[in-house]
Amino acid sequence: MTQIDDVLAHIDANIDASLARMEALVRFKSISTDAAFKDDCRKAAEWLAASLQDIGFDGSVRETSGHPMVVGHDGDEGEKPGPDVLFYGHYDVQPVDPLELWNSDPFGPAIIEKDGVKMMTGRGTSDDKGQLLTFLEACRAYKAVKGSLPVKVSILLEGEEESGSGSLLPFLEANKSELSKDLALVCDTTMFDPETPAITTMLRGLVGEEITITAADRDLHSGSYGGPAANPIRVLARILADLHDENGRVQIPDFYDGVPELSPEVKAQWDSLPFDGDAFLGNVGLSIPTGETGYSIYEQISARPTCEFNGITGGYTGDGFKTVIASKASAKLSCRLVGQQDPHAIRKNLRAFIKARVPADCSVDFAEHGASPAHSLSPDFAPLKQGAKALQDEWGKAPIPMGMGGSIPIVGEFKSILEMDSLLIGFGLDDDNIHSPNEKYNIESYHRGIRSWARVLAALAE
């Protein structure tokens, strides 16, 4: 028997109670982006603070300019081996629209079985309420069996992750001495597949930018002004087309500064993964890759930078037809960054690229929508090795060191403000429908996620 077999047995024996707590948390309509749900967000925060107190943390609800934070520190003050850790999760969720596409109440969690797999349905089951509870439930089991945790643990649960984290940076700056630990643990990521664990070792950064081109001082009749009058939609379309070459490479000056190539070891491992690029595109009705020439689809979504267009507006977009030349046209862009790319330099060079292509009698305005650097872990990072061993013990196979296509800005902020690296271990799956109707979380993901965190905590203490 290992030193944590009794903890794992306790987790197994009490999984129904853990699922009941997950159901209770999912019932809170904690939609952070909609002011109508402000009270629901607070109730979720209060529930979590009470849960932390129930397992021996000094859990508290902390006020911010937006939705509250939940902070807890383990009440056991004794000296412990291993790093002091800060666990991060978020209790807010995305809106549920369109409601008519849900098969059941988004905030009425239910356990169902589909194709032989048991799962809990509901908004936030996977992103991130179920995920954050895997860690809290591991702590609960440790406390119940051992009376204390193997390492010192603090917890930070945010209420605005799905709406831009407007209060997070000021909160981190104001509470730096309290929250800065040796290591951050983040559970907002996925496994490689339902049987294969993963540790996200590369996380892309983000630059968000909105561009507005203005031409005439008012909308114009296209029969009277079409031809001689500058059309901002045409100007914008030409600029957007210039941002990529025929091989899919981004044309912003110095865009690839700081972009590393994969090590031969990681490339060989990724090339051996059972990842089907044709199926990846086929699942969304596509068949022809359009990313950078010379890189596999998996490399493109995990370890290469991109510049994508997320929305374009201009002119009349209602029903029917209106012959108008708009006075303004706008586009929203997002650049995903890797390696050592500097998000502020990217933004500066992007703006210069666009300004150089705007006609003299037109103008351009910009609006920032976030900037965060990429994150990567060295293969020699000790907690990475410890976490990998713990996951292998639980799942029976070595975890995949994954690159994540999305961005988790908190990881960069932990590094820049709190001066600590992050270990990203999650138990979500690609088919969990996060941000979409019919979100779910597999019961096995939840159960074994709890067991996995118990093993990781033990491993960090060794």
Encode pLDDT of 145-166 as tens digits.
999 999 999 999 999 999 989 9
Verify that 391 and 357 share a domain, yes or no: no
Q: Which of 418, 410, 349, 411 is nearest to 376 (CA)?
A: 411
Verify that 55 and 118 share a domain, yes or no: yes
Q: Is the pLDDT of residue 431 over 60?
A: yes
* Exposure on the CB side of residue 261, measured as CA atoms within 13 A: 6
Q: Which of 339, 390, 338, 11 is nearest to 199 (CA)?
A: 390
The residue-averaged pLDDT of 48-73 equals 97
> Residue 261 corresponds to which amino acid?
E
More confident position, 231 or 206: 231
Q: What is the pLDDT of residues 13-33, one digit of tens each?
A: 999 999 999 999 999 999 999
Q: Is the pLDDT of residue 261 over 80?
A: yes
Q: Report yes or no on 278 lying in a domain.
A: no
Report the relative pairing of strands 69-73 and 153-158 from DSSP bridges: antiparallel
Most distant CA pair in the chain, distance:
85
The residue-averaged pLDDT of 208-220 equals 97
Of 339, 371, 403, the domain-final residue: 371
Tell me the CA distances in angstroms from 450 to 10, 55, 131, 219, one per residue in order. 11, 15, 9, 58
Verify that 231 and 188 share a domain, yes or no: no
- CATH code of residue 402: 3.40.630.10
The residue-averaged pLDDT of 253-264 equals 94
The residue-averaged pLDDT of 210-234 equals 97
Q: Report yes or no on 416 lying in a domain.
A: yes
Q: What is the pLDDT of residue 75?
A: 81
Verify that 15 and 159 share a domain, yes or no: yes
Q: What is the pLDDT of residue 266?
A: 84
Residues 134, 254: Cα–Cα separation, whole Å: 42
Of 347, 371, 395, the domain-final residue: 371
Verify that 130 and 221 share a domain, yes or no: no
Q: Report yes or no on 128 lying in a domain.
A: yes
Verify that 94 and 181 share a domain, yes or no: yes
Q: Report yes or no on 56 lying in a domain.
A: yes
Supply 341's token pair: 């790319």
A 10 A CB-CB count for 417 gives 18
Verify that 315 and 394 share a domain, yes or no: no
The residue-averaged pLDDT of 200-211 equals 92
Verify that 211 and 358 share a domain, yes or no: yes
Domain span holding position 245? 205-259+305-371
Q: Report yes or no on 289 lying in a domain.
A: no
Q: What is the pLDDT of residue 347?
A: 98
Q: What is the pLDDT of residue 145?
A: 97
Helix (H) / strand (E) containing 54: helix 38-54
Q: What is the pLDDT of residue 385?
A: 96
Specify the range with the lowest mean pLDDT, choosing from 64-73, 262-271, 317-326: 262-271
Q: Report yes or no on 413 lying in a domain.
A: yes
Of 371, 402, 417, the domain-final residue: 371
Tell me the CA distances in angstroms from 412 to 65, 373, 389, 417, one per residue in order. 22, 6, 25, 8
Supply 368's token pair: 């920032």
Q: What is the pLDDT of residues 369-426, one digit of tens each?
A: 988 888 888 888 999 999 999 999 999 999 998 888 777 778 888 998 999 999 999 9
Q: What is the pLDDT of residue 448?
A: 98
Query: Token pair 């029903």 is at which residue?
Result: 319
The one-character DSSP state at 312 is E
Q: Report yes or no on 276 lying in a domain.
A: no
Report the relative pairing of strands 198-203 and 422-425 from DSSP bridges: antiparallel
The domain tally of the chain equals 2
Verify that 85 and 113 share a domain, yes or no: yes
pTM comes to: 0.83
**Residue 362 binned pLDDT confidence (cut-offs 50, 70, 90):** very high
The one-character DSSP state at 273 is S
Q: Is the pLDDT of residue 1 over 60?
A: no
- CATH code of residue 342: 3.30.70.360
Verify that 143 and 17 share a domain, yes or no: yes
Q: What is the pLDDT of residue 3?
A: 81
Verify that 33 and 136 share a domain, yes or no: yes
Verify that 198 and 210 share a domain, yes or no: no
Q: What is the pLDDT of residue 9?
A: 98
Q: What is the pLDDT of residues 176-187, one digit of tens each?
A: 999 999 999 999
Q: Report yes or no on 179 lying in a domain.
A: yes
Classified as helix, coil or strand, 201 is strand
Q: Which of 231, 236, 247 is nearest to 354 (CA)?
A: 236
Mean pLDDT of the chain: 95
The residue-averaged pLDDT of 218-231 equals 96
Q: What is the pLDDT of residue 338?
A: 93
DSSP string, 105-141: -TTS-EEEEETTEEEEESTTTTTTHHHHHHHHHHHHH
Q: What is the pLDDT of residue 274?
A: 87
